[in-house]
């Protein structure tokens, strides 16, 4: 089944032929409702947080976010203040006077948007009454043991109550747009619509509820989308009530959106509504932009990773770190959904290819996926201590050597190299060398795992036999914890770590969007994704030859598992055969794709969704003309014309090649300028004026 084009995107300029009319934001209020406002749970938090600035620049003080209140989050992330709008203050006071607790402030992120946070626990005494109201409205019953569903009902009821009070206060002076994210916030949407509150509503699903559950159960999801008995599948997983809440919200919304083409296909089958708009996820590219310094940042952070590797592999450091490549994968620990199963099998085959071809390249692969642990691995800590001790010894001997050399030269003598180091110096160095000897192999994990015997990554490492042996050209380091600059093992933040790696590998099976390869792209790091991820579909749609720009897309939709595994192996093997110069050229190209992922462009699709919702809810006030879809191709990033073109097309006849042999002409500025001329955005990516 091929992906169908949605209404909103057929290409980068694929918005419908809509004469852009700026909304009168001074006469409107925009509310964005999500369970993850100031409350980090998953990727939706990143979407809301990074999009805040571009939305606040457009809407100013008429943009307010709504979410649940958690005391710790409020104290550390929110600056409390009074609402500037009297109607909002009156609506809040009405809820507070009736026994609820509502908090207002500015979220301390880029853009400083206003937030309204509802205390779920303080209103829990209304739960039974609100459950009865929900049953009367739409015949959906919530079991008492589902805490998350009950909390979402309390949250949704408070949101609908607030909107009722607010619209009563405004009396048509200002119209309201309410944008709801995911099923937890969707309850507020369906309750608002059932009470006929005059709102323009938008509902965004970042991944369907049932889709997540089916893929987590290793179902052959995409090949059976049209064959699932949706009600039965939801019932068997005891989430039928959640599924009903999600589906009801989808059908109650004036405008329904998803984050990618692949999720649009999924939503059409899972919740039985074709999305009106696809709103791809973006990033605040300025946050990551290092201009021309990103190559230097790569070198600096690569050196930090090399220091970790020196300690972790002490006693077995028989490979050249200057010819060592660092690959990584990161994300939630969903073994099959995130493609860790495919990656491990491909690494086993890559190890075989590198050994057969007698390559002098070594690949160290990091798995950054949080799992249950009880502490750091003793061997990992010892490795870093040994490395530190060796460094201190080398510095001590170097200082003595330098002092004696200096004194000898001052006397006008050429030093006797056999006497410049005494017996004690040799003894200290020998002891340091003996301290690096180890009888065991370097550990494949940096922590003690609680479920070592059943952990899926460790179980598969045992199956494929990649134990960091001397003969292995592929080494594995499983870091089951998020990275932190305060870690005694790998003291680096995630951004620093990504910049120091050579390739991010994310062969996901279920990934509605995929922020990890997007973050790699804006930092100029090539990455591997799939055509089952939203990011992969987006790049495939808008870049003529993604691999030329360092975006390798594995086909997991139309190939067998064996075929996908072989393709991923070939991508990684080809990357290993690139020279250093080729990798630098490719990083330059990758970084130039960052504008594609900038909210200053992708926010355009949210603007369109809001305008569409207003035209449907208040047709007498807001009209959208020219909604016919044009058979336009827009534009696509062209294939770069410079040489070397790509890893697959520029393989050396032997893996033992010299970087100096690459004497093909390449002018970075000339190629960049050619890209800028070929790529014409439908509107400027410049700053948006406040209030426009």
The CA distance from 98 to 126, in Å, is 11
- One domain for residues 415 and 537: no
The CA distance from 493 to 504, in Å, is 16
pLDDT bin (cut points 50, 70, 90) of residue 641 is low
Quote the pLDDT of residue 675: 63
Quote the pLDDT of residue 683: 38
Quote the pLDDT of residue 559: 92
* pLDDT reading at 634 higher than 60: no
- One domain for residues 265 and 240: yes
The parent domain of residue 370 ranges over: 325-377+443-489+497-597
Determine the average pLDDT of the residues in 568-590: 95
pLDDT bin (cut points 50, 70, 90) of residue 413 is confident
Identify which of 341, 309, 346, 314 has the alpha carbon closest to the alpha carbon of residue 325: 309
The verdict on residue 476 lying in a domain is: yes
Span 234-261, pLDDT tens digits? 999 999 999 999 999 999 999 999 999 9
Beta strands 200-205 and 175-181 are parallel
* pLDDT reading at 19 higher than 60: no
* pLDDT reading at 291 higher than 90: no
One DSSP character per residue, 189-231 reads HHHHHHTT---EEEEEESS-HHHHHHHHTT--TGGGTTT--HH
pLDDT bin (cut points 50, 70, 90) of residue 271 is very high
Determine the average pLDDT of the residues in 592-608: 91
The verdict on residue 304 lying in a domain is: no
- One domain for residues 420 and 468: no
Determine the average pLDDT of the residues in 527-549: 93
The verdict on residue 166 lying in a domain is: yes
Quote the pLDDT of residue 287: 56
* pLDDT reading at 70 higher than 50: yes
- One domain for residues 243 and 264: yes
Quote the pLDDT of residue 34: 97
Is the Cα dihedral 181, 286, 553, 572 positive or negative?
A: negative
- One domain for residues 52 and 133: yes
pLDDT bin (cut points 50, 70, 90) of residue 682 is very low
* pLDDT reading at 686 higher than 50: no
Determine the average pLDDT of the residues in 298-314: 95
Looking at residue 117, the DSSP 8-state letter turns out to be: E
Mean pLDDT of the chain: 87
Task: Region of 626 please: left (phi>0), alpha (psi -120 to 50) or beta.
Answer: left
Share of the chain above pLDDT 90, in %: 71
471 or 631: whose pLDDT is higher? Answer: 471
Name beta bridge partners: 367.
329, 478
Quote the pLDDT of residue 399: 87
Span 215-240, pLDDT tens digits? 988 888 998 999 999 999 999 999 99
Identify which of 561, 559, 518, 515 has the alpha carbon closest to the alpha carbon of residue 336: 561
The verdict on residue 13 lying in a domain is: no
Domain count for the chain: 3
pLDDT bin (cut points 50, 70, 90) of residue 638 is low
Determine the average pLDDT of the residues in 286-309: 83
The verdict on residue 193 lying in a domain is: yes
Domain final residue pick, 582, 597, 612 = 597
Highest-pLDDT range among 37-46, 242-251, 280-289, 624-633: 242-251
Identify which of 382, 365, 346 has the alpha carbon closest to the alpha carbon of residue 478: 365
The CA distance from 29 to 91, in Å, is 14
- One domain for residues 329 and 478: yes
- One domain for residues 367 and 507: yes
- One domain for residues 591 and 454: yes
């Amino acid at each position: 089944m091929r992906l169908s084009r949605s209404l909103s995107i057929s290409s980068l300029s694929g918005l419908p032929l809509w004469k852009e009319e700026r909304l009168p934001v001074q006469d409107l209020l925009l509310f964005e409702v999500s369970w993850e406002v100031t409350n980090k749970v998953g990727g939706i938090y990143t979407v809301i947080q990074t999009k805040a600035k571009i939305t606040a620049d457009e809407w100013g003080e008429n943009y307010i976010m709504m979410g649940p209140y958690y005391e710790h989050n409020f104290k550390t992330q929110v600056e409390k203040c009074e609402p500037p709008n009297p109607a909002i203050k009156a609506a809040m006071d009405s809820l507070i006077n009736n026994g609820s607790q509502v908090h207002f402030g500015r979220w301390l992120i880029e853009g400083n948007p206003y937030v309204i946070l509802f205390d779920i626990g303080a209103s829990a005494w209304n739960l039974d009454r609100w459950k009865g109201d929900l049953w009367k409205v739409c015949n959906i019953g919530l079991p008492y043991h589902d805490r998350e569903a009950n909390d979402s009902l309390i949250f949704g009821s408070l949101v609908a109550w607030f909107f009722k009070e607010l619209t009563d206060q405004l009396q048509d002076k200002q119209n309201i747009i309410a944008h709801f994210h995911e099923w937890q916030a969707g309850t507020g949407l369906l309750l608002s619509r059932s009470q006929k509150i005059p709102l323009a509503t938008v509902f965004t699903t970042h991944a369907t509820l049932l889709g997540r559950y089916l893929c987590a159960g290793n179902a052959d999801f995409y090949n059976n989308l049209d064959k699932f008995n949706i009600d039965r599948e939801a019932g068997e997983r005891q989430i039928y009530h959640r599924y009903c809440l999600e589906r009801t919200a989808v059908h109650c919304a004036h405008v329904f959106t998803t984050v990618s083409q692949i999720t649009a296909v999924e939503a059409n089958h899972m919740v039985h509504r074709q999305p009106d708009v696809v709103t791809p996820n973006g990033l605040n590219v300025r946050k990551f932009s290092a201009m021309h310094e990103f190559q230097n940042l790569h070198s600096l952070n690569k050196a930090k990773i090399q220091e970790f590797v020196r300690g972790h592999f002490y006693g077995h450091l028989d490979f050249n770190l200057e010819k060592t490549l660092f690959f990584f994968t990161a994300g939630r620990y969903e073994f099959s959904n995130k493609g860790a199963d495919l990656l491990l099998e491909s690494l086993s085959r890559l190890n075989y290819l590198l050994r057969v071809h007698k390559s002098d390249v070594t690949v160290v692969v990091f798995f950054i996926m949080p799992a249950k642990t009880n502490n750091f691995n003793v061997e990992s800590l010892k490795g870093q201590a040994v490395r530190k001790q060796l460094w201190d010894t080398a510095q001590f001997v170097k200082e003595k050597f330098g002092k004696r050399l200096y004194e000898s030269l001052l006397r006008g003598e050429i030093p006797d190299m056999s006497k410049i180091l005494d017996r004690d110096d040799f003894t200290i160095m020998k002891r340091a060398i003996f301290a690096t000897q180890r009888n065991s192999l370097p550990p494949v994990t940096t922590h003690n795992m609680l479920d070592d015997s059943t952990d899926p990554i460790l179980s598969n490492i045992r199956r494929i036999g990649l134990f960091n042996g001397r003969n292995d050209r592929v080494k594995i380091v499983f870091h089951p914890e998020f990275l932190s600059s305060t870690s005694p093992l790998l003291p680096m933040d995630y951004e620093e770590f990504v910049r120091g790696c050579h390739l991010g590998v994310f062969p996901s099976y279920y990934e509605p969007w995929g922020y990890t390869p997007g973050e790699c792209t804006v930092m100029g790091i090539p990455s591997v994704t799939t055509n089952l991820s939203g990011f992969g579909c987006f790049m495939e749609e808008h870049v003529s030859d993604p691999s030329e720009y360092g975006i390798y897309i594995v086909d997991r939709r139309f190939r067998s598992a064996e075929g996908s595994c072989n393709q991923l192996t070939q991508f990684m093997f080809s990357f290993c055969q690139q020279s250093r110069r080729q990798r630098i050229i490719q990083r330059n190209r990758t970084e130039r794709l960052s504008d594609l992922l900038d909210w200053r462009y992708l926010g355009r699709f949210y603007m369109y969704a809001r305008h569409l919702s207003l035209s449907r809810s208040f047709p007498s006030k807001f009209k959208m003309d020219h909604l016919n879809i044009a058979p336009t191709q827009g534009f696509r990033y062209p294939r770069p014309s410079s040489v070397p073109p790509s890893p697959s097309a520029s393989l050396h006849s032997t893996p033992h090649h010299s970087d100096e042999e690459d004497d093909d002409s390449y002018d970075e500025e000339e190629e960049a300028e050619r890209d800028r001329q070929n790529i014409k955005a439908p509107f400027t990516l410049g700053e948006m004026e406040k209030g426009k």
